[in-house]
Amino acid sequence: MKALIGMALILHMLALLLRFLRRPRLGFVSFMAASVICLVVVGMDWAAAGQPPFSSMHHVMVVLGACALPAYALLVLGRGLTWMTPAFPLAGAIPLVMAIIFRRDEAWHLAPALQSPWFVPHVIAYMVSYSLALMAFLLLVTGFVRKNFGDGTFDVGKLETGSYEILSVSFPLMTFGILSGALWANQIWGDYWSWDSKETWSLITWFLYLCYFHCRKHGKLRKHANLAHALAFLAMLTTFLLVNLLPKLASKLHSYV
């Protein structure tokens, strides 16, 4: 299975290279091939276990890599943001690197708390949201580099606007993730919110992205928007990775991911 993931990673990087070599059609074919392979891997894992393959960091990273395709559909086909096409293979490649690093469980089962109708929509909403947030952050970093180390001819505002457009799609999905998680928690544990570490960090992440939008909408605060964006992304990484990997931040109720 990791051979297929490696092939998808190579195809994503090839798609990125072909874009810079001004071969967009071949780059698009390579990107689509990588995305299809990711979807096939997700489908094979799902069929092998007879349940959604979201139970380990390896599986989640593969799903996150596959989210580059729906993100492309939302932003390029849906909103016509064709100029940011190179961001999609890069955003698809990064989680696949992590998927190769994390150990793949040959067999797994869903914990009782995961056996809920909310499980799949909750996880998929978050995965697409996080995939979009990764692309928005890549544009933020590119804009920072261009602004501070470029020749001054590139329109950095275009990148910031693109980042805002991406997050305007990501944030509602993130909001749905929190709300569906609360409904799910009430169904399983009889309480909408427990202030578990993952719940707390997901709320911090959501609030910081809300601060970003607030800064973008108010002229005097606009200069702080990029800082709020960077802090929100760091909080998202804490929610998604550190809470699962660091013992001191470990989530007692969400240790199954």
Query: What pLDDT, in 10s, does the model give residues 147-167?
Result: 777 666 667 788 888 899 899
Per the domain annotation, does 23 fall within a domain? Answer: yes
Which pLDDT score is estimated for 105? 63
In terms of phi and psi (left: phi > 0; alpha: psi -120 to 50; beta: otherwise), the region of 80 is left
Computed on alpha carbons and rounded to an integer, the radius of gyration of the chain in Å comes to: 19
Which pLDDT score is estimated for 154? 67
Alpha carbon distance 128, 65 (integer Å): 10
Alpha carbon distance 63, 53 (integer Å): 8
pLDDT at 248 over 60: no
Shared domain for 134 and 97, answered yes or no, is no
Which pLDDT score is estimated for 99? 87
Shared domain for 138 and 222, answered yes or no, is yes
Which pLDDT score is estimated for 9? 93
Shared domain for 245 and 141, answered yes or no, is yes
Shared domain for 123 and 236, answered yes or no, is yes
Per the domain annotation, does 35 fall within a domain? Answer: yes
Query: Taking a C-beta distance cutoff of 8 angstroms, is the pair 91, 11 a contact?
Result: no
For residue 214, what are the domain limits?
119-257
- pLDDT mean over 187-197: 82
Instruction: Say what the pTM is.
Output: 0.80
Shared domain for 140 and 182, answered yes or no, is yes
Best CA proximity match to 188, nearest among 173, 199, 204: 199
- pLDDT mean over 69-76: 84
pLDDT at 130 over 80: yes
Shared domain for 212 and 243, answered yes or no, is yes
Q: Which of 75, 103, 131 is the last residue of a domain?
A: 103
Longest Cα separation, the chain: 58
Shared domain for 165 and 211, answered yes or no, is yes
User: What is the total count of domains within the chain?
Assistant: 2
Per the domain annotation, does 75 fall within a domain? Answer: no
Best CA proximity match to 202, nearest among 144, 120, 147, 257: 257
